[in-house]
Structure 1
Amino acid sequence: MSGYNAVLARNTGNAPKDLGPYSQTVAFSHYNHISAQLPVDPTSGKLVSGGIKAQAEQCFKNIKAVVESIDHVMNDVVRITVFVKNIKDMGVVNEVYKSYFPVYVPARTTVAVAALPMDALVQIEALISHGEGTIPGAPQSGDLIKLTNNTVNAPVCPLSTQTVAFSHYNNISAQLPIDATSGKLVTGGVKDQTRQCLNNIKAILHSIDVPFDDIVKINLYLKDLADIDAVNEVYTTFFPDSSIARSAAYLPARTTIAASALPMDALVQIEAVVSHGDGTPPQAVEDRHGIVIKAHNTINAPTSSLHTQTVAFSHYNHVSGQLPLDPKTGAMVSGDIKSQTEQCLNNIKAIVESIDHAMTDVVKVNIFLKNIAESQAVDDVYASFFPGGIPARRTVGVAALPHDALIQIDVVLSNAEGTPPTA
């Protein structure tokens, strides 16, 4: 890949370092990907004392330190993801959150998970706009702006913006199964809730004149993984959405996660990342179809009828969550967490190489573990795939994973060549 538009990893002594083989922030093109921040004091390297409020405050302090170390401000955050051990702690976390985003609020996802590294109560990650990009002297350097949008046809929340666009992506707040008119959860079971989540996403996209099939990545958060078949039954009535997508059999990349709890005691929550071909003014508006979605599968990694292995748009590839499945047999590999981690990463490597990229092009890694105590064993394998510790990273413990796996990994991959039709 060209070294001109290059992956840029950075660290600061004002935020925790040496907590694992990853970088605090990794920039590529017009986004900075910040590693999930734990409530760790950067001086001592230990968790702060004082309960959930003190821990949430430290997470945001660490994010702010990273953001300011790269000459950005907190208003450059386009998405916040909050992981808590106890969903009841979100009221306290929100009070701290509001002090960091008193006027502008980014897109947001909130999930309770089974465990967090270092037995933390909260972990927070941020995605940051990067107007200057990583192409030296690019003509549009510094010109890009955020575009925020809310519609009354989807649930409105004072703590998050429904969608925040920057450059060639719209980042949509995770949608709960809330009726936009009543502000309450819809009645019925998980099928009804899944349908409402997806209808909310569709309403948001319609409000910004973006078709549903412009979604490049879906993240499903389920309270009970046993509900996945019912969720998929509804999901397949939404994807593909258009005749063009159906003719191409286009499906977005996807990751499915078991949450310990969701806001409002919902059964499902759905998050979407959406292509935005016309960019964000004031640069010259591009034809929406001038940059195209490129979906790709390889037989050297597990395939699924429900998602594409990797979906590229503009300068990023979004890779579906990879389970430790043997691509030839479709069965779970035998062995312990190290064997399963190696298989997940081998699957990712096969996908990456199938589109003429390398593992050094990865900018963000998301790891989901059934047993958080196995993190060190995972890192032992992980370091052999990422010896420089370059990608930003998130690690959470979950109650269950598809196929009863011990681990699932997904990645975001840089794409220097972009996706114009002539590429």
Structure 2
Amino acid sequence: METRLDHRRSACSNFINKVRSRPAYTQSVAFSHYNNISAQLPIVPDSGILIGGDIKAQARQCLHNIKGIVESIGHTMDDLVKVTLFLQDIGDLDAVNSVYRDFFPHVMPTRTVLAVAALPLGARVQMDALLSNGEGTFPQAPCPLVKLSRSSERAPHDPLSTQSVAFSHYNNIGAQLPLDPASGALVAGGIREQAAQCLSNIKAVLEHIDVPFDDIVKVTIYLTQLADLEAVDEIYRTFFPDSAIARAVAYLPARSVIAASALPLGARVQMDAVISHGDGTPPQLVEDRHNLVIRARNTDKAPRTALSTQSVAFSHYNHIAGQLPIDMSTGKVLTDCVREQTAQCLTHIKAIVESIGHVMDDIVKVNIQLANIEDLAEVDAVYTRYFPDYLPARTVIGVSELPAGARIQMDAVMSNAESTPPLI
């Protein structure tokens, strides 16, 4: 009898075998109507070393690598719905942008940009991506779904990013800076005002496409100072839950908080979001798309946080909140050993995954933040043991700090073959 993993393997094997995988991750993992592409460094595929030259050359190589993966599975760059751009120096953004626009001659995907403390191999730039997958994965029949790219005048415009790109049952919202839509300038005030503006901009994007705020399933907050999180949380609580129905069940989306070394325009905070899209995108049939339920679930076997749900499922995906290496018996970060901290993070993710009837091999993407990028080899020594059959797509960055002095943090995206049921 075929398992959920067997179905995914039969769908993915055609392209996984065509691309060269690095030891600790798979370049591209598809499930249902999305492909998750691992972070691409500016590595020349033939030599396996970083490309020589300036930041433009490195950015171009990252994009060529993404394009090579995309084309190897029968897609084009216009099928991308989101790109995340990690820079060693935010001052390089203009140079990167001059290259970036050449790869998207028609419609821009959504985009998130941040500077980080370090990147693997000492690279100056790294990019990952999310790709629409109109043919779906077996046993879904190929379906020419429409990708809906939309922007609102009520939220800030970026010539290199679309505000919202929907495909199938998800919307991906480009990172929102604390910009006043009317002036295009940073909002006046401090961190609270900036946080409120980010969330107001997300809300404006959603209202423009007639989607309620409580359809958000995952939020990622990027802060230049983690000490600002308490003030951001004060504002965050005023936005979630947003409706009477959500308040009745105390619904909160999954969440990750990431330390950025710098953000565009000198902002102190930036947020992006993943949105459930119950209406789907055409030509999905009415009976396939309406009233799917968001399933938010927690387990006592992993740490709980006041402003985040551990796992939020919608349609064919589960989004798992950022996990720190918290010792469940003490409520504090485990020892200083990065191997033990890595195992603790993965144990929490495994507990969440198993609490909802899944296995670790159902994970399609993992995001890792390290306080010291030099710890990556030690992390990999533990990491690969948690994925016995195949390795998910992955993004790794170095950050300037992590909460509670942790050395590592992880979040994940998981396939959800049973989907979520319609509201009865």
TM-score, structure 1 normalization: 0.96
Structure 2 distance, partners of 1:421, 1:49, is 53
Secondary structure at the aligned position of 2:50 is classed as: coil
Q: Verify the 8 A CA contact 2:166 2:172 in the aligned structure 1.
A: yes
TM-align CA RMSD:
1.5
- In the TM superposition, what is the alpha-carbon distance from 1:389 to its structure 2 partner? 4.2
In the alignment, what sits opposite 1:30? 33
1:93 and 2:96 correspond: yes
In the alignment, what sits opposite 1:81? 84
Structure 2 distance, partners of 1:16, 1:40, is 12
What whole-Å deviation, never above 9, does each CA across 1:135-194 have from its counterpart, x for those lacking one?
Answer: 23x34x232110011000000111110000000000000000000001110010000000
Structure 1 distance, partners of 2:305, 2:32, is 30
1:46 and 2:58 correspond: no
Q: 1:292 to 1:340 in 2, by over 3 A?
A: same
1:67 to 60, 66, 70: 70
Q: Which 5+ residue runs of structure 1 have no aligned equivalent? A: none
Structure 2 distance, partners of 1:196, 1:378, is 37
1:293 and 2:294 correspond: yes
Q: Verify the 8 A CA contact 2:323 2:349 in the aligned structure 1.
A: yes
Secondary structure at the aligned position of 1:229 is classed as: helix
Aligned length, in residue pairs: 419
In the alignment, what sits opposite 1:2? 4
251-260 or 141-150, larger mean C-alpha shift: 141-150
In the alignment, what sits opposite 1:337? 338
Structure 2 distance, partners of 1:59, 1:122, is 8
What whole-Å deviation, never above 9, does each CA across 1:81-118 have from its counterpart, x for those lacking one?
Answer: 00000001010111111100122100000010000000
Secondary structure at the aligned position of 1:351 is classed as: helix
Q: Verify the 8 A CA contact 1:218 1:273 in the aligned structure 2.
A: yes
AA of the residue aligned to 1:297: N
In the alignment, what sits opposite 2:172? 171
Structure 2 distance, partners of 1:43, 1:149, is 38
In the alignment, what sits opposite 1:317? 318
Structure 2 distance, partners of 1:419, 1:352, is 15
In the alignment, what sits opposite 1:109? 112
- In the TM superposition, what is the alpha-carbon distance from 1:2 to its structure 2 partner? 2.9
Structure 2 distance, partners of 1:2, 1:380, is 27
In the alignment, what sits opposite 1:130? 133
Query: Which aligned runs of 4 or more in structure 1 are off by greater than 4 angstroms?
Result: 286-289
In the alignment, what sits opposite 2:283? 282
AA of the residue aligned to 1:205: L
- In the TM superposition, what is the alpha-carbon distance from 1:289 to its structure 2 partner? 4.9
Q: Report the identity percentage.
A: 58
AA of the residue aligned to 2:40: Q
Q: Which 5+ residue runs of structure 2 have no aligned equivalent? A: none
Q: 1:389 to 1:107 in 2, by over 3 A?
A: same
What whole-Å deviation, never above 9, does each CA across 1:238-273 have from its counterpart, x for those lacking one?
Answer: 011111111101100000000000000000000100
1:384 and 2:385 correspond: yes
In the alignment, what sits opposite 2:303? 302
In the alignment, what sits opposite 2:271? 270
Structure 2 distance, partners of 1:85, 1:316, is 31
What whole-Å deviation, never above 9, does each CA across 1:53-107 have from its counterpart, x for those lacking one?
Answer: 1000100000000000000000000001000000010101111111001221000
In the alignment, what sits opposite 1:215? 216
Q: Verify the 8 A CA contact 1:143 1:283 in the aligned structure 2.
A: no
- In the TM superposition, what is the alpha-carbon distance from 1:386 to its structure 2 partner? 1.5
Structure 2 distance, partners of 1:3, 1:405, is 33
Secondary structure at the aligned position of 2:56 is classed as: helix
What whole-Å deviation, never above 9, does each CA across 1:182-216 have from its counterpart, x for those lacking one?
Answer: 11100100000000000000000000000000000
- In the TM superposition, what is the alpha-carbon distance from 1:290 to its structure 2 partner? 2.4
In the alignment, what sits opposite 1:398? 399
AA of the residue aligned to 1:361: D
Q: Verify the 8 A CA contact 2:117 2:261 in the aligned structure 1.
A: yes
Q: Verify the 8 A CA contact 1:301 1:326 in the aligned structure 2.
A: no
AA of the residue aligned to 1:94: N
